[in-house]
Chains A and B, each alone.
Chain A
Amino acid sequence: MSFLHPGLLALAVLAPLELLVARLRLGPLRASVEALSGPRNRGRASRIFTTASTCGSVSGALFIVFAALSLAGPSWGSRGSTAERSGLEAVFVLDVSRSMLAADVPPSRLEAAKALIRGLIHGDGLRGTSGSASFALVAVKGDGILLSPMTEDVDALDGALDYADPETMTAPGTDLERGLQAGLEAFSRTSAADRVLVLLSDGGELSGSIMDEVQALRQIHVRFAAVGFGGSVPAPVPGPDGSPLLMPSGLPVQSALESTRMRDLASAVGGRYLDGSDAGTSASLAAELAEARRGGTKVEIESVDRSGFAAFLALVFLVAALVADMLSTSGAAWKARREAEGGGAS
């Protein structure tokens, strides 16, 4: 089972709180019911009240649990659907933050990433497959901007790569969410092409919930690959003049590959993580692009969203809580009154 917004599961902590509040209120309310029922029916009214009230509390708590589950967007299982695909659309989301200038992957992480992209768009990997192949380039730093729109013109994309560097934009940091957002917008709306999004980065921050982008990537069946550049040992980050960038304390700014975040992201989208310095990465990506480029009817597997099912269970327990509430507050007194009137209800 996986969740689209796992943080919302925290709302389930309100369930024990609900049980606690109900427990604290039970005593005084039961005393009122007993007083209203009279000496003859006190015991029976108290039992009915306690039972209904407890059922109501438990149902209320279960409602909270399933509502939280529904909000978290659970999904499990998978289903396949067929789609007719024609050609390939690939978006490269390239991290151009200053940390990508670190030279732990020679000549630098950024140049290694650019070489990988150039190899993919010009290389032999896509030859021998029919169908059109279009590419787009998005640069991501503190924002995501489209450097080259979706085009078959690989020379134009190659030219745009020349301009992809930390000076492309002033916004600092690496906001992967903005990059993915811009990447998603780069796909054509009217094309039936198979879609691939390749993120090339050394890690980064998220400005908010990236899950909207994750959901969108899943919904439009984008093949996703996150390619990490950099080593696990922190490397110095060069400044604009080429000398090491220094923190206010005078220590050099260092950066290491944050592969965990990229792995998590790839896993959430149903894609894969690849190491940019691995010799097989280029061939693996080229094979994926070639496979995507082949047109025809393809089976697309998607995980099944179960938030509706959780919402249904939440509704069941809400109804149970309402009914129990109704019975607990008046059921005992009503029964007592019926008995006093000789109705003989049991």
Chain B
Amino acid sequence: MLAFDRPAALALLVLVPGLPLLARFLRGRGLSLPFPLDSGGSLFAVGVPLFPRFLRAARALALALGFAACVAAAAGPALVTRRVVYLGRGNEVVFVLDVSPSMAASDVPPSRIEAAKAIIGQFIAARRNETVGLVAFGQEAALICPPTLDYAALSSRLASIKSGIFGDGTAIGAGIATAVAHEARSTAPEKFAVLLTDGENNAGAIDPATAADAARRYGITLSVIGVGTRGDVPFDYVDPATGERRTGTYKSGFDQGQLERLALEGGGQYYAAENKAALASAFDSLSEKSASLSRSRTLSSEKPLVAQVMLLAFAALAAARIFGLLGGGGRP
């Protein structure tokens, strides 16, 4: 929003059309005062050389623009922006995303992993004051983004994730443990870890139940989303290490009981997401639970535009001066 420090100064803008009108009024009464803002007659007057008349008109136009810009600059223009800031620390959510090759299955279109990434992206877009982080796991687990309010950085790192980047395996315990390690010292009032997986724990040295127990001990609520359907599911996967493409069907199945026990152990809830609608519904529920309540206030900040407007005035008046020297009238 544009605002002025001294809006009263804008009243001088009336001189831009006012002076030429006064000049015409006086001219009609036989008085001739060549007001600088007046072009001195029509550009297309018959019998008068075009170039001098063009210069006069151009000078008057540049002068009017320069004068108006100078008035606007003197009025102190500024761009005012408002933003909401939160005075308290929001809650914290860390997603623990399975990136094993089976997440390339397309029973949840376009694929389990892309559907999960899309819904996490929507979740991030709806956050205001909650720190969100991301852990990915396959054969190994790694922190992709620490819990942060920098949603742009998080989204960019989320976008870079592909199935298979951490090998052919599902180290659920290592994934949860990584999230716990990075949330343990957080000062967030409430901490959540959300595991998204389509498989059974078959890699890593950490037992998922032990990791879920650790989560609870550090005050982290662990929820679990089982992604995908069971049975034969279409599969299209490009191995990021070798570039080899594998397509066909894959016999999908996971131990729902184990995942439900994990959620129970972690103090959270289990959601079965066999399709996109179920996945969205699970996230709606998580979104509601993880939303923070904290005091906020609106801050206004001003970015002065005086220099930019004065630059326009300076350029226009310099042009007017040059037109004047070329034969279009006097100063400036």
Contact = CB atoms under 8 A, between A and B. Distances in A.
Interface residues of A, number: 59
A247 interface: no
B88 A86 contact: yes
Interface string A284-316: 000000000000000000000101100110110
Contact of A152 (B35, B131, B153, B331): B131
Nearest to B31: A334
B74 interface: yes
Contact of A326 (B33, B88, B309): B33
Contacts, number: 166
Contact of B73 (A70, A150, A324): A70
Contacts of B88: 86
Given A150-B150, A311-B306, A326-B36, 5 more contacts: A60-B332, A153-B147, A154-B185, A219-B301, A314-B74
A190 interface: yes
26 contacts: A11-B314, A18-B321, A21-B325, A63-B332, A67-B314, A70-B306, A84-B297, A87-B89, A149-B153, A151-B147, A152-B185, A152-B186, A154-B185, A156-B182, A157-B146, A190-B84, A190-B86, A190-B129, A308-B75, A308-B76, A312-B6, A325-B330, A325-B331, A326-B36, A329-B330, A330-B33
B87 interface: yes
Contacts of A154: 185
Interface of A: 4-5, 11, 18, 21-22, 56-57, 60, 63, 67-68, 70-71, 73, 84, 86-87, 132, 134, 136, 146, 148-157, 159, 186, 188-192, 219-220, 305, 307-308, 311-312, 314-315, 318-319, 321-322, 324-326, 328-330, 334
A263 to B, nearest CB: 25
Given A21-B325, A60-B332, A314 B310 contact: yes
Given A71-B314, A321-B332, A329-B34, A151 B74 contact: no
A220 B301 contact: yes
B268 to A, nearest CB: 21
Interface of B: 5-6, 9, 12, 31-37, 63, 66-67, 70-71, 73-76, 83-89, 128-129, 131, 133, 143, 145-150, 153-154, 181-183, 185-187, 297, 301, 303-304, 306-307, 309-311, 313-314, 317, 321, 325, 329-332
A186 B9 CA distance: 39
A325 B36 contact: yes
Contact of A186 (B150, B181, B185, B332): B150
A303 to B, nearest CB: 12
Contacts of A146: 150, 153
**Which of B31, B67, B131, B143 is most buried by chain A, counting CB atoms within 10 A of its CB?**
B131
A116 B316 CA distance: 52
Q: Is the interface of A mostly helix, strand, loop or mixed?
A: helix
A188 B307 contact: no
B41 to A, nearest CB: 15
Contacts of B325: 21
Contacts of A149: 145-146, 148, 150, 153-154
A315 B147 contact: no
Q: Which 6 residue pairs across A and B have the least CB separation, nearest first?
A: A156-B146, A149-B150, A308-B76, A153-B146, A149-B153, A151-B146
A277 B308 CA distance: 42
Q: Which of B71, B331, B332 neighbours the largest number of chain A CB atoms within 10 Å of its CB? A: B331
B32 A330 contact: yes
B148 to A, nearest CB: 4
Contact of B34 (A60, A159, A312, A326): A326
Nearest to B15: A319
A189 B152 CA distance: 11
A68 B303 CA distance: 19
A188 B149 CA distance: 6
